[in-house]
Amino acid sequence: MKQIKKITCIGAGYVGGPTMSVIAQKNPDIQITVVDVNKERIAAWNDNDLSRLPIYEKGLDAVVAEARGRNLFFDTDVDKAIDEADMIFISVNTPTKTYGKGKGQAADLKFIELCARQIATVAKDDKIVVEKSTLPVRTAEALKSILDNTSNGVNFHVLSNPEFLAEGTAIADLHNPDRVLIGGENTEAIEALVNIYASWVPRERILTTNLWSSELSKLVANAFLAQRVSSINAVSELCEVTGANVDEVARAVGMDSRIGSKFLKASVGFGGSCFQKDILNLVYIARSYNLHAVADYWEQVIVMNDHQKTRFAEKIIQTMYNTVNGKHIAFLGWSFKKDTNDTRESAAIYVADHLLDEEAQIVVYDPKVSVEQIYKDLDALGTRTPEANRRLVKVVNDPYQALDGAHAIAVLTEWDAFKTYDWAKIKEAMKKPAFVFDGRKLLDRSQLETLGFKYYAIGE
Ligand code: NAI
């Protein structure tokens, strides 16, 4: 296998950007170009002011500062980057289909197919094509078929290399991954990719499998993680009616070494671009093989998650004397979890939607999410007009402004800074009784109750 000298990554998003930055940082001899059709995104990746990178991840700015301009480049010329590369990562988005067969469940592979066709058209010499996006099992077969049937006698090897980073800790995860997974059929191609990771990841953590195991493992890993959240969330509702405390139950259960303590935190529900989409995808695949019991089993993880978001919104309404009409509800947090500016599928969006149906007046504060993004998320639901969203929802960039005069506070994201606020001052500025609905179990109950708040946390 020839030495990999040039890598191209198609897709400069939450995965492509950070992943390639770290690969470039750790492989200074390989030239890496990340390309995207989104010109603003590429411009932001090239911004001299590193605080304006399109993605907020702790430590990302330092990695970009080290590698950008040395062996890491961001560009919009996709054809040129494909032509020059020995290895091409495809890291484009694979959202749930919103039309046609499989609508609402199957992964929409149109962006993947477009990439494959573009690679096939442009490539003049042999390439290794790496699936970095999360894909339905057996997508590599379709990719290979497109590549082989439309190219000019060029040899392509397709590898699957799903990404396991978690947003919010992307750089730490990339620097020190639990494992790197590489699926493929051609030993030389696999070895070429293993070598790239081996420049910083211990060999024993680089797993190689067949293509289908690799593709399926990513879907299954996300399904298992989401399932744990839904499991503890189901228990949280049981705790609320029985007098048990979900944190105590999670601790007692998680200390069993067969179960483990991670990912057992009850909350308003999981969000993010991946969990829901990947489970829906798994459900769709199972159904397409007529495995209905398997599909029904995994589908319940989503059912439970939707229930938890609805339940939280209803708890707010019910506690506030069955009406939130015209009431000022302050949202602390909009991103789907702390330390990221990503809002895709954030629980906050759905809780807001539910409360807005009841004509609540919401004021949102999030330390990293832009005003435009919040309105975009609400408008995308299509539940009400953009004018109504702007009339009912205000976005502020000072948390105390959001809380001033509020009837209630809803904590939707577990940003650490929320814990350090001056809660006595907040209490003074709020309408009484001052309600706090803690969807992340973030705040200190005894502190808030001592100050006179009516404090509600999930699972207690
Ligand atoms: P993203 O939406 O942030 O980025 C995808 C980028 O691809 C966009 O900037 C888009 O403009 C670009 N793109 C789409 N088609 C293109 C084309 N034909 N040519 C050039 N650029 C094109 O998506 P994200 O979050 O980076 O996800 C990418 C994949 O990685 C998805 O399959 C996702 O499931 C998977 N994944 C995501 C994780 C996450 O935490 N976000 C973690 C692990 C996997």
The answer to whether residue 151 scores a pLDDT higher than 70 is: no
- Pocket of ligand 1 contains residue 12 by CB under 6 Å: yes
The token duo for 98 is 């919103």
Q: 451: closest CA among 424, 420, 433?
A: 424
Residue 165 binned pLDDT confidence (cut-offs 50, 70, 90): very high
d(CA 202, CA 204): 6
Indicate the pairing of strand 206-209 with strand 180-183: parallel
What would the DSSP string read from start to end of 252-299?
HHHTSTTT-STT----S---SSSHHHHHHHHHHHHHHTT-HHHHHHHH
Question: Which of these is catalytic: 132, 218, 337, 338?
Answer: 218
What is the reported pTM?
0.94
CB of 284 closer than 8 Å to CB of 102:
yes
> Would the CA dihedral through 149, 155, 160, 163 be positive or negative?
negative
Supply the pLDDT for residue 185.
96
Among protein residues, the one whose CA lies closest to atom 27 of ligand 1: 93
User: 57, 115, 132, 163: which one is catalytic?
Assistant: 163
Interface pTM, i.e. ipTM: 0.98
Q: Is the CB of 15 under 6 A from ligand 1?
A: yes
pLDDT digits (tens, 9 = 90+) for 329-350: 999 999 999 999 999 999 999 9
Is residue 2 over pLDDT 80?
Answer: no
- Domains belonging to the chain, first-starting first, are 6-209 (3.40.50.720), 211-460 (3.40.50.720)
- Check if 274 is active-site: yes
Q: What is the pLDDT of residues 110-141, one digit of tens each?
A: 999 999 999 999 999 999 999 999 999 999 99
Task: Identify the residue whose tokens are 């694979």.
Answer: 94
Q: What are phi and psi of 152, to 5 degrees?
A: -100, 60
Q: Is 218 a catalytic residue?
A: yes
Q: Exposure of 59 by Cβ count < 10 A (0-12 exposed, 13-18 middle, 19+ buried)?
A: middle
Is 215 in the active site? no
| Cα distance between residue 424 and residue 403, in whole Å | 12
Instruction: Please report, for residues 73, 177, 435, the alpha-carbon distance to residue 21 in angstroms, rounded to integers and kept in the order given.
Output: 9, 15, 44
